[in-house]
């Protein structure tokens, strides 16, 4: 009888511990304000109603209690126009559900996009987290402007192709936002980024230390950034071949295939050398990444928990 009682007590204790751990995990990402995920260039919210741009990230955040929305903006357009589109989406969410502010998380061109919103509508924003974003521009965009100068036949041809691809992506995602590949290329170039930063300088590293950190908080908004410095990460990922070519624009500079290491810096730099390439950062393609690389979804969850602990 005593042995039976001990086993019963052990089972009860195990159940209590399991219940406690489950309760903790189910609220691990339960931020005060909703999380809004913002895609980059040639991005979308969901294709065919099933394939997420942030692959499995919304589900992972929701499993810990977060309220998550995924923005669907122009696949190709300027940072400012995409920012205005995002403002309209946030105002709509505020009107429908009563949300006061949002934790904005942007990948790639989504980084400047959410910075625009924080600059012109700080009342909507609790925090900014940029992932692999070209805050001082991308050398790939600069290189394309050299290979196909603005106004040239090559430039028009590339723009037409990207616009057509963007329209197709919008169709597959069930949307029809305006596309402007030339405006996107200008925004993502070094001169375009410099002009943008002069108008929206919040949390940018100082001009004499572009590879440093920026202010952790501006106008009550917390700023964070992270990025990667690997390119060829998985032999089964077809996108690695494209990134392997695009990295040539960077010479010896550390990069993720599309964005330089220092260009990703904004606010508090959580880490700028994850073993991820540009698409790995959004858990693409289908979560293929390096064998020993950390899970992007775990990093997103940790960031949500950080925001939660700050009361955001």
Number of independent structural domains in the chain: 1
Residue 240 maps to a domain: yes
Instruction: For residue range 204-249, list pLDDT tens digits in order.
Output: 999 999 999 999 999 999 999 999 999 999 999 999 999 999 999 9
CB 111 within 8 A of CB 133: yes
Expressed as residue numbers, the domain containing 266 is 44-309
The CATH number covering residue 188 comes to 3.40.50.1820
Selecting among 107, 135, 200, 278, the annotated active-site residue is 278
For residue 132, is it within any domain? yes
Q: What is the chain's mean pLDDT, rounded?
A: 92
The answer to whether position 9 is within a domain reads no
Counting as low any pLDDT under 50, the low residues of the chain are 1-2, 4-5, 8-23
User: Domain for residue 3, yes or no?
Assistant: no
Residue 51: strand, helix, or coil: strand
Q: Catalytic annotation on 119?
A: no
Is 108 an annotated catalytic residue? yes
Question: Tens digit of pLDDT for each residue in 140-156?
Answer: 999 999 999 988 998 98
* 149 occurs within a structural domain: yes
**200 tagged catalytic:** no
- Cα-trace Rg, the chain: 21
| Residue at 127 is within a domain | yes
pTM of this structure: 0.91
Q: Is position 116 within any domain?
A: yes
Contact 310, 268 (CB under 8 A): no
Residue 210 forms part of a structural domain = yes
Catalytic site residue from 142, 256, 272, 280: 256
- Find the catalytic residue in 108, 166, 225, 246: 108
Q: How far apart are CA 115 and CA 262, in angstroms?
A: 17
Please tell me the predicted confidence (pLDDT) of residue 48. Answer: 83
């Amino acid at each position: 009888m005593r042995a039976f009682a001990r086993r019963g007590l052990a089972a009860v204790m195990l159940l209590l511990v399991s219940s406690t751990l489950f309760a903790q995990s189910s609220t691990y990402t339960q931020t005060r304000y909703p999380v809004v995920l913002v895609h980059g260039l040639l991005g979308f919210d969901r294709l065919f109603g099933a394939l997420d741009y942030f692959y499995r990230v919304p589900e992972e955040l929701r499993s810990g209690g977060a309220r998550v929305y995924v923005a669907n903006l122009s696949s190709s357009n300027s940072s400012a126009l995409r920012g205005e589109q995002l403002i309209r989406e946030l105002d709509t969410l505020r009107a429908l559900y009563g949300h006061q502010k949002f934790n904005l998380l942007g990948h790639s061109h989504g980084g400047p996009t959410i910075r625009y919103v924080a600059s012109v509508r700080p009342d909507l924003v609790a925090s900014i987290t940029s992932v692999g974003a070209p805050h001082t521009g991308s050398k790939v965009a600069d290189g394309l402007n050299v290979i196909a100068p603005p106004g040239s036949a090559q430039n028009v041809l590339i723009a037409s192709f990207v616009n057509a691809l963007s329209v197709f992506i919008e169709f597959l995602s069930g949307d029809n936002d305006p596309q402007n590949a030339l405006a996107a290329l200008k925004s993502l170039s070094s001169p375009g980024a410099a002009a943008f930063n002069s108008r929206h300088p919040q949390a940018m590293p100082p001009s004499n230390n572009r590879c440093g950190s920026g202010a952790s908080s501006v106008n009550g908004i917390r700023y964070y950034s992270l990025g990667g410095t690997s390119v060829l990460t998985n032999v089964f990922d077809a996108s690695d071949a494209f990134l392997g070519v695009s990295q040539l624009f960077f010479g010896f500079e550390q990069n993720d295939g599309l964005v330089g290491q220092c260009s990703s810096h904004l606010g508090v730099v959580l880490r700028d050398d994850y073993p991820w390439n540009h698409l790995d950062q959004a858990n693409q393609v289908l979560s293929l990444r390096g064998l020993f690389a950390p899970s992007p979804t775990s990093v997103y969850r940790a960031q949500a928990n950080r925001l939660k602990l700050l009361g955001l």
